[in-house]
Chain A
Amino acid sequence: VNDSPANIRIIPRLDIKGPNLVKGVRFEGLRVLGKPEDFACHYYDAGADELLYVDVVASLYGRNNLSHIVERTARQIFIPLTVGGGLRTIDDIRAVLRAGADKVALNTAAVKRPEFVKEAVRCFGASTIVIAIEAMKRPDGSYEAYTDNGRERTSLDVFEWAVRAAELGAGEILVTSIDREGTGLGFDVGLTRRISEAVPIPVVAGGGASTPQHVAEVVRSGRCQGVALASMLHYGMIEKYRGDRDFEEGVTAFLQSGRDHSVFAGVSLAEIKTALTDQGIATRPWAEAGVRNG
């Protein structure tokens, strides 16, 4: 068995607040970057392997209002779409699947009541249920799982929770390092590797990427099957949307200012995939993705 039998999936992650795509650092200080549907369509055309939508304030307010955005997106993109944030009941899951999601990412509700994972798997199949784990490193080097985008502690050990989630029947794990999230300092490779070695299901790593080299490292040493990328891709896209300032709510000062982000140069999906291929890491070639309606 070779080190990486999988074709690595590059998954743009779109954090959504109200009608807007937002991005913060360690889940805080959310800036409005644009309309999620615009970014989603661009990433589809550019060869994204899947898309991930997360309603970042849903758990806080006990709501999930992504369905309309999911529905508009799903009419235009024909790659898998995972939706997370505030999904608490089987009916919540059914509603986003009905709107066009293929998979759902569960965190808070799964932590509060692990049996919920089992019920969701029974209703919708294992491959539909992704467990999202937000991991923060403790001073002693262990990792604690958090919920509500890094706001709430759970006292759960990340690795024990990952194994439990797989045993409950989840089809995939999305692990995000809160310490690295939005910083551009690179993935937490050790965290990713320990999870991937502990569970028999695919693992997607998120939090910290700003260069193709970070992606290559977490694939090779972290042994994950996919990467979730946000700032790294989004900041390269912003230029295209500077003209569109018709936002309904949110902190748009960053967009209006016309400033560049200091950490993220903005890298395209094509550049990332080319870099991976050059390093012998298998991935669907971006050139084959073609164009929408092609």
Chain B
Amino acid sequence: VISVRVKIFGGLRRYTDNKRVIEIEIKSNTAISEIIQRINVPDAPVYAVEKNGKVVNKRTIVDKDCELTLIPFISGG
């Protein structure tokens, strides 16, 4: 079992009762997409994911304690 800290920004918080950070414990070797599902955030609005500060594919497998950041769609400009 490993600990994952998930940071949630912007419109994605509508799916987490406005929580900014969720910490969960999961089995080692879990895909990030599954972790996102576990915290009840739908896949489509998550534009990108960072693992410990680096943008990674949602299919990436997590096997150690880490921090994930869920990135919303960026407007700007």
Q: Do A and B come from one complex?
A: no
Residue numbers of A with Cβ under 8 A of B are none
